[in-house]
């Protein structure tokens, strides 16, 4: 519930072993876009987000615990005077700086505890929304340069990380009972035009009431926010 995904993106898996997961991680790493600038021979020209959906089931109760792990490699902000970027490299640098600026605005709003957080100002902040605020735990690792020549960039990066430390989230386990999972499967079948036996609905006490509640919740999340990114309860 509330997990942000890219509309039309293909979810790979499921993965039953570490080796399978590592294969898709390597696939994601191969999509990284790098190029040479005056500051870095292999400069990242885009951000990289590798998200893993994790589902664990209790074999005795049938309850399912669901979570999402996002590994994010943010490209660093750039100054054209130092990178001497031109053409496509300069356009990439502008896009990177705009997205990092939008992320900085989101972090500032979250740290200040404000109600309105401008996630929609950039695709990056929309994509990272479920990992920054609300039910999440976030860790940030900052890479800095020891060179005096990069002192300004180092100071900016440390200030960025300091603001992140001010964000307070409350994380809790997301769990669904076996009954809720059963009802959601029925709803999915009904929406797909399949027939569901009345006997199935009456199998357990309170089934009709619970089904109605789940259906109402399902419809609400199916609407989702507008734009290319949407919230969904699909796990």
Q: What is the residue-wise DSSP string for 126-187? A: HHTHHHHSSS------------GGGHHHHHHHHHHHHHHHT-------EEE-HHHHHHHHHH
Q: For residues 101 and 55, give the distance between their C-alpha atoms in angstroms, rounded to a whole number.
A: 34
Q: Does residue 143 carry a pLDDT above 90? A: no
- The lowest-confidence range among 90-99, 139-148, 169-178 is 169-178
Query: What's residue 136's pLDDT?
Result: 81
> Stretch 182-188: mean pLDDT, rounded?
77
> Stretch 108-137: mean pLDDT, rounded?
86
| Whole-number average pLDDT of the chain | 76
pLDDT tier at 211 (50, 70, 90 boundaries)? very low
Taking the CA of residue 209 as centre, how many other CA atoms within 13 Å lie in the half-sphere pointing to its CB? Answer: 3
Query: What's residue 217's pLDDT?
Result: 45
Q: What percent of the chain has pLDDT over 70?
A: 77
Query: What's residue 1's pLDDT?
Result: 52
Q: Measured on CA atoms in the order 73, 166, 171, 129, is the torsion positive or negative?
A: negative
> Stretch 174-202: mean pLDDT, rounded?
69
Query: What's residue 171's pLDDT?
Result: 64
pLDDT tier at 79 (50, 70, 90 boundaries)? confident
Q: What is the pLDDT of residues 80-118, one digit of tens each?
A: 777 787 888 888 888 888 998 899 899 888 888 888 999
Burial of 123 (0-12, 13-18, 19+ CB in 10 A): middle
Query: What's residue 230's pLDDT?
Result: 41
> Stretch 117-137: mean pLDDT, rounded?
86
Q: Does residue 28 carry a pLDDT above 90? A: no
List CB contacts of 99: < 8 A, sequence separation 6 or more: 47, 122, 123, 124, 125
- The lowest-confidence range among 130-134, 144-148, 216-220 is 216-220
């Amino acid at each position: 519930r509330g997990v942000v995904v890219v509309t039309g993106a293909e979810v790979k898996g499921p993965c039953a072993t570490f080796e399978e997961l590592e294969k898709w991680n390597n696939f994601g790493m191969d999509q990284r876009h790098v190029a040479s600038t005056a500051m870095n021979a292999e400069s990242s020209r885009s951000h990289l987000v590798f998200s893993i959906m994790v589902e664990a089931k209790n074999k005795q109760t049938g309850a399912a615990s669901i979570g999402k792990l996002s590994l994010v490699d943010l490209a660093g902000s750039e100054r054209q005077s130092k990178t001497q970027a031109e053409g496509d490299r300069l356009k990439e640098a502008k896009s990177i700086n705009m997205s990092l600026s939008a992320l900085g605005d989101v972090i500032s709003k979250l740290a200040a505890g404000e109600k309105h957080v401008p996630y929609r100002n950039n695709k990056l902040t929309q994509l990272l929304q479920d990992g920054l605020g609300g039910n999440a735990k976030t860790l940030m690792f900052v890479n800095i340069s020891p060179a005096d020549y990069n002192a300004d960039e180092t100071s900016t990066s440390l200030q960025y990380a300091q603001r992140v430390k001010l964000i307070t989230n409350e994380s809790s386990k997301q769990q669904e009972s076996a009954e809720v999972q059963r009802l959601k499967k029925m709803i999915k079948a009904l929406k797909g035009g399949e027939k569901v036996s009345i006997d199935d609905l009456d199998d357990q006490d309170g089934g009709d009431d619970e089904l109605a509640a789940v259906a109402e919740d399902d419809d609400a999340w199916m609407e989702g926010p507008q734009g290319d990114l949407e919230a969904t309860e699909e796990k």
